[in-house]
Amino acid sequence: MSDTSQKTYMLNMGPQHPAMHGVVRLILELQGEKIVDADVEIGYLHRAFEKHSESETWNNVVPWTDRLNYVSPLINNVGYAMAVEKLGGIEVPERGQYIRVIACEMSRVTDHLTCVGASAMELGAFTVFLYMIKAREYLYQMVDTLTGARITTAFTRVGGVKSDLPPGFAEKFKEVAALVREAVRESDVLLTKNRIFMDRMEGTGAISKEDALAYGITGPFLRSTGVAYDVRRSHPYAIYGKLDFEIPVGTKGDNYDRYLVRMAEIEQSLRLIEQCLEKIPAGKHSLEPKEIKWAYEIQDAGKFGDTALLAKYQAKVDQTLEGMSKADQPDTRVLDRKITLPPKESTYTNIEGLMNHFELVMWSWGVKIPPSETYFAVEGGNGELGFHLVSDGSDGPYRVRCRPPCLFPMAALKKLLIGGQIADIIPTFGSVNMIAGELDR
């Protein structure tokens, strides 16, 4: 009888497999249930983000950044806007920078909640998934209150943000933070010392510090190996240098350490938001004027020549345009008519404001950035999210290149899988936190 113990066979896993999210294909060579070789195939969700951006104006690229990491879109918004501002030498008012950090850290928490919750669900811990998604929903409602949208926020503008903090935001966030912490505590009790969970996570998907650095891996994946690299600390941007926070790190670089790092980072992000809400400099916002009228009322009054009282009124707009009034601008956006849109009161009541508005939104006019080239990075949910931009002096980017943080652990996925079991693929791939929007772009 011939010895068949050394024979191998091929197995396709994905892209239809639920754990592959419909966008990744693994071609596995197996010896029994042991993985002896693997080929990782990506590219199923290519959207041409970079080339598409090169046909847009500077501000019109912002909505496309939402679709990169659609689990933490506000970080994408801020990273891109800051890259453009570095090109143009634009300095955002301090209050606007605080608001950007608040937005980014809320997005980071939603990212980690989704990653941990979905990974736990794929290992059978469905209750944890419900707890985590419940907590994420509370934060989505806060994002909606701030930006006017839950996921595709398009919140930043070159030179600032769309709107100021709405009334009662700090008080409401205090309640939400308590609910998020409770959900994380419940999940921690269910998972962290759970024998089944630990058996599936400890020692699987391990990578050394040296290999992680060689692959260019950043974020929680790198920090799980013991390297305390975080763009917010190593290359401080916005107002991170004024805030107190810790960089959680692991020691083994395995799936379990990556889980612990993400759980710890949720608490650090909540701390950062609370500090921002305490330290944010005073400023007005669009929902506190003594006399307001709906924008269409101001517009109609101007058409009929009833202009005597227009100067005293502030425009009241729907949620998607909140923050575009004159009360906000000094605090949240650069006061430069060549960069930021005029307040709605000016757009609706005088020809100069209307012309200024149209010039900024029309193709071939708009924001002009001097010919130059730069790279700027922020700390995304998965690590260093960078934008390499080239300007030729026109109203939009000549070249856009994105550094997607989850591409690098995906490049190392083959190394992580070989030698493990088929069952190890699920926790390992889950800990990569692959987001196809930024992976394939």
pLDDT by residue (tens digit) across 136-180?
999 999 999 998 888 898 899 888 888 888 888 999 999 999 999
List pLDDT tens digits, range 48-74.
Answer: 899 999 998 888 899 999 988 889 999
The CA distance from 89 to 376, in Å, is 13
d(CA 347, CA 349): 6
241 vs 94, 97, 148, 231, 338, CA distance in Å? 13, 12, 29, 11, 30
- Six-digit token string for 377: 């990075």
Q: Which amino acid is at 404?
A: P
Q: What percent of the chain has pLDDT over 70?
A: 87
For the chain, the average pLDDT equals 86
- List the one residue out of 317, 323, 277, 286 whose CA is nearest residue 156: 323
CA-to-CA distance for 23 and 32, rounded, in angstroms? 26
Name, in order, each residue with C-beta under 8 angstroms of 285's C-beta and a sequence gap of 6 or more. Answer: 163, 164, 165, 166, 167, 323, 327, 328, 331
pLDDT digits (tens, 9 = 90+) for 385-428: 999 999 998 888 999 999 999 999 999 999 999 999 999 999 99
* Average pLDDT of the segment spanning 212-236: 93
Domain ranges within the chain, ordered by starting residue: 50-283+369-440, 292-361
pLDDT-based confidence at residue 288 (cuts at 50, 70, 90): very low
285 pLDDT tier (thresholds 50, 70, 90) = very low
Residue 14 CB: number of other CB atoms within 10 A?
20
- Secondary element (H or E) of residue 146: helix 126-147
Tens-place pLDDT, residues 327-367: 555 677 777 777 777 776 677 777 777 888 777 887 778 78
Q: How far apart are the C-alpha atoms of 362 and 351, rounded to whole Å?
A: 16
Percentage of residues in the chain having pLDDT higher than 90: 57
Q: Can you tell me the distance from the alpha carbon of 164 to that of 438, in angstroms, rounded to the nearest whole number?
A: 28
Give this prediction's pTM.
0.87
Place of tokens 């937005």: 103
Contacts of 65 (CB under 8 A, 6+ apart): 73, 76, 77, 79, 80
- Alpha helices, DSSP H, located in 289-328: 295-303
Considering only the top CATH level, what class is 50-283+369-440? mainly alpha
Q: Are 188 and 112 in contact (CB under 8 A)?
A: no
From 222, 229, 266, select the one nearest 247 (Cα to Cα): 229
Closest CA to 407 of 45, 8, 1: 45
